[in-house]
Chains A and B, each alone.
Chain A
Amino acid sequence: MSSSLHLSAIRKWFLQSPPVEWCLQHSRELLLGALRQGPVPEHIAFVMDGNRRFARQHQIETIEGHNLGFEALARVLEVCYKSGVKVVTVYAFSIENFKRSKYEVEALMDMAKVKLAEMAVHGALLDRYGAKIQFLGQKDMVRPDVLEAIDTAIEMTKGNSRAILNICAPYTSRDEMTAAIRETVIDYSKPATPLKRPFSATHIARNILSDTNPTSDPSSRNPSPNPSATTSGLSLDASPETSPTTAPSNSRSTSSLTQNFPDPENINAETITSHTFTAGMPPLDLLIRTSGVERLSDFMLWQCHQNTEIVFLDCLWPEFDLWKFMPVLVEWQWRKRQGEDPDFNRGRRRKRAADMAKGNHMSEGAFLPGKLKVAS
């Protein structure tokens, strides 16, 4: 096992000799620039799995594995933001992880604190990525001193708008969905502010009654004084599952009018989505999990169960880098192009035209369609 570390040290030495590094750096830039030419996922999520196994395999401390994992994250973030990804969501710490050994949890917390503090020192540098840091999850479960560091980081980067980094800690998706449902319930049990319209319902009702139906029952004649008794009695026996469209909806609308509750029938998937932690962000395009475990492990369930492409990779997270990431990205682009080929070409042409209009007033435009033909 240690021989592999030696080998990697030699490889590192070679890769970091100035000419090789220069070439690598520039080829990376070229590749990223090239990737930007095609469709790029707007929102990518990562499950950073395999730090501990990496540490075990290389016989280093577990926390050292997490440290390397953090560096891998920094590398991946650089690739993402340079290639134009808008939102990156990473699964840093699960609520279940509190069940790990106390020693490891404490070490992880310390590491988070140190890294966040470092970030705070280099605030201006962080702004260059234009990334806003957000923490998703049960923040109150975190140690207070770490929470302070978290708040500083959020505060410092909240003005950035180019990209978002979501750090999920301590997070589980079920917890998120529960919270979203709870928030929705709270929203819908708050009496809404009374609507101000120039017409009064009682006035209209009285007019109708006096006009057409002088012999109707007395309860509807005066609907305003104490309607809650009749309406709640009506809606109690109408269970929502049986027939939500006929009689109960009628009674519910009256009850929601008089008590000013919003109608629960208006709740839809978007309502819940807007209460999740990722509200307002683009839909998840790609979810990548390393270490070959083919499970979601309670991560982004609500977000990824529709059209998200889920990719399970066999490498461990600390080994994850541009060269492992690129095939996934290219394959995603390729599928995207397969899926919407004509659309895609039109988009490209439009972009090209915009580029030309922006100031590239050279007359080389003539050979562009030929190139596009190759590309399509």
Chain B
Amino acid sequence: MSKFTNKDEEAAFHRNATVDGRPLEPHEREAFFNRYLPPTPNSHSPSPARGDRSHLQQSSSKKQPRKTHLRALIMSQVHLLIYTLIHFFFSIYIRIRRMYHAVVNRFMSVMYYHHRTPELIAKDVKALDRVPDHLSVVLELRQDDGLEGLLEDVAEVAAWCCSAQIGMLSIYEKTGILKSYQQQTHRAITRNLHAYFGPPPARPTVSLRAPHMEAYSPPSTPLSPFPGPDPFHINVLLLSADDGRNTMVDLTKTLAEMSQRGKLRAEDVTADVIDIELRDGVMGEPDLLLLFGERVVLDGYPPWQVRLTEIFHVPDNTEGVGYQVFLAALHRYAKAQMRFGR
């Protein structure tokens, strides 16, 4: 019955030899781990979810049916009881954990507040060895404040990126509502940048784009009429669920059609071809993906591009978009510790 009576035997099992060094015979090995295996499945008990216990029942049920039925019932009641207990305690635990994280999150948001001052943000990221060239964020269209709230989030994140000198920002929003309000989005970003940076010579310029759509450029902005260095420029890319699987499906359709017309052989479909098409059509690989949700669910984010992207989220973050989350992500990306205060 006992499997590894001492650790010598276990070690012996691991290096595939007996205690005195002789190579282990197959049947000896079997004897070692036999106990850890479930019993042989019965061909007339197809329910796998019930597992080993039901097999036990069946094999011995001929002798004492009463007793085993009773035993099975008790066992299932015990399991249910334990399951209930586990979930009872777990729900307490997760509530405490969420409260704790909410307090920490609130504390961080007080410690690190941007005060709409780009210099302060620049100071926060100055110590970091590297910042991502291409930041991607997942935003959510909320029920309560709808497009207004979403635009506010977009504008804030864009302003933080400008302050941290991140030149490429892609914003994933599942429904794609931002794509149909490009003008409003552009205006919201510009207005917020104005609040952060002040009037044009200091204010970064914005270009807004969505895959497979015409880029939205603001009406008649003369290129830096002021002397001095050019203002910072940020590219904002709007993504939606359509730019994920659907774009790849569209690419497949095109490739299939080309192949049907004999313009392309199947061997020509390589990862490089797909990569170039998707990079030109949608975007390249982001360096950092920032989720403001409480857990990591990609929710239709473009699969091809997310390959090596660092994925960051703050556990149990129910507050949504916050500067402290943005900053924590940048710290994580640079593999730096966040110290309290500035």
Residues of B that sit less than 8 Å from A by CB: 2-7, 10, 14, 16, 26, 29-30, 33-34, 36-41, 48-49, 51-53, 69-70, 72-73, 75-84, 86-88, 90-91, 94, 212, 244-246, 248-257, 259-261, 264, 266, 269-271, 274-275, 295-304, 306-312, 332
Of all A-B residue pairs in the complex, the 3 with the closest CB atoms, nearest first, are: A34-B82, A188-B256, A37-B83
Q: Given A37-B83, A177-B303, check contact A261 B260 (CB 8 Å).
A: yes
B38 touches A128 (CB 8 A): yes
Q: Considering the chains assembled together, what is the distance between the CA atoms of A235 and B261 in angstroms? A: 9
Q: Given A35-B83, A185-B266, check contact A267 B37 (CB 8 Å).
A: no
Indicate if A5 sits at the interface (CB-CB under 8 A): no
Indicate if A305 sits at the interface (CB-CB under 8 A): yes
B298 touches A264 (CB 8 A): no
Indicate if A268 sits at the interface (CB-CB under 8 A): yes
Q: Given A12-B7, A295-B310, check contact A375 B38 (CB 8 Å).
A: no
Q: Given A178-B271, A305-B306, check contact A334 B37 (CB 8 Å).
A: no
A310 touches B260 (CB 8 A): no
Chain A, range 127-143, C-beta contacts under 8 Å to B? 127-130
In the complex, besides A188-B260, A269-B245, 18 extra interface pairs with C-beta distance below 8 angstroms are: A13-B7, A16-B7, A34-B82, A82-B38, A84-B49, A125-B34, A173-B303, A181-B248, A181-B252, A181-B269, A261-B260, A271-B252, A294-B311, A296-B306, A305-B303, A337-B87, A374-B84, A375-B84
Chain B binding surface, main DSSP class: helix
Selected A-B contacts with CB under 8 Å, 30 pairs: A12-B10, A32-B51, A33-B75, A33-B82, A38-B83, A40-B49, A71-B14, A84-B49, A118-B29, A122-B30, A125-B30, A127-B40, A128-B40, A130-B41, A174-B307, A177-B248, A184-B252, A184-B256, A185-B256, A186-B266, A269-B245, A296-B311, A301-B306, A301-B307, A302-B303, A305-B299, A306-B300, A311-B296, A335-B295, A361-B69
Q: Considering the chains assembled together, what is the distance between the CA atoms of A30 and B51 in angstroms? A: 12
Task: Give the residue of B75, B245, B260 whose beta carbon is less than 8 angstroms from that of A189.
Answer: B260
Q: List A contacts of B29 (CB < 8 A).
A: 118, 121-122
Chain A, range 12-30, C-beta contacts under 8 Å to B? 12-13, 16, 18, 21, 30
A84 touches B82 (CB 8 A): no
Q: Considering the chains assembled together, what is the distance between the CA atoms of A50 and B259 in angstroms? A: 43
Which residue of chain B is the closest to A364 with respect to CB atoms?
B73
Q: List A contacts of B79 (CB < 8 A).
A: 30, 33-34, 36-37
A82 touches B51 (CB 8 A): yes
Q: Considering the chains assembled together, what is the distance between the CA atoms of A9 and B299 in angstroms? A: 44
Task: Give the residue of B37, B73, B86 whose beta carbon is less than 8 angstroms from that of A362.
Answer: B73
A128 touches B41 (CB 8 A): yes
Indicate if A247 sits at the interface (CB-CB under 8 A): no
Indicate if A113 sits at the interface (CB-CB under 8 A): no
Q: Given A162-B41, A181-B255, A297-B308, check contact A38 B298 (CB 8 Å).
A: no
Indicate if A78 sits at the interface (CB-CB under 8 A): yes
Q: List B contacts of A118 (CB < 8 A).
A: 29
Q: List A contacts of B304 (CB < 8 A).
A: 174, 177, 301
Query: Which of B4, B90, B301 neighbours the largest number of chain A CB atoms within 10 Å of its CB?
Result: B90
Place the interface of chain A in its size category. Answer: 35 or more
Q: Considering the chains assembled together, what is the distance between the CA atoms of A265 and B260 in angstroms? A: 13
Q: List A contacts of B52 (CB < 8 A).
A: 82
B69 touches A359 (CB 8 A): yes
B51 touches A31 (CB 8 A): no
Q: List A contacts of B249 (CB < 8 A).
A: 267-269, 271-272
**Contact string against B for A residues 285-322, beta-carbon threshold 8 Å, 1 for contact and 0 otherwise:** 00000000011111001101111111110000000000
Q: List B contacts of A295 (CB < 8 A).
A: 308-311
Indicate if A371 sits at the interface (CB-CB under 8 A): yes
B296 touches A312 (CB 8 A): yes
Task: Give the residue of A84, A185, A297, A309 whose beta carbon is less than 8 angstroms from that of B295.
Answer: A309
Q: Given A37-B80, A371-B80, check contact A362 B70 (CB 8 Å).
A: yes
Query: Which of A163, A305, A331, A333 neighbours the largest number of chain B CB atoms within 10 Å of its CB?
Result: A305
Q: List A contacts of B76 (CB < 8 A).
A: 355, 360
Q: List B contacts of A361 (CB < 8 A).
A: 69
Q: Given A13-B7, A182-B269, check contact A331 B94 (CB 8 Å).
A: yes
**Contact string against B for A residues 191-213, beta-carbon threshold 8 Å, 1 for contact and 0 otherwise:** 00000000000000000000000
Q: List A contacts of B5 (CB < 8 A).
A: 16, 18
* Shortest Cβ gap from B289 to chain A (Å): 9
Q: List B contacts of A32 (CB < 8 A).
A: 51
Task: Give the residue of A84, A232, A261, A306 whose beta carbon is less than 8 angstroms from that of B51.
Answer: A84
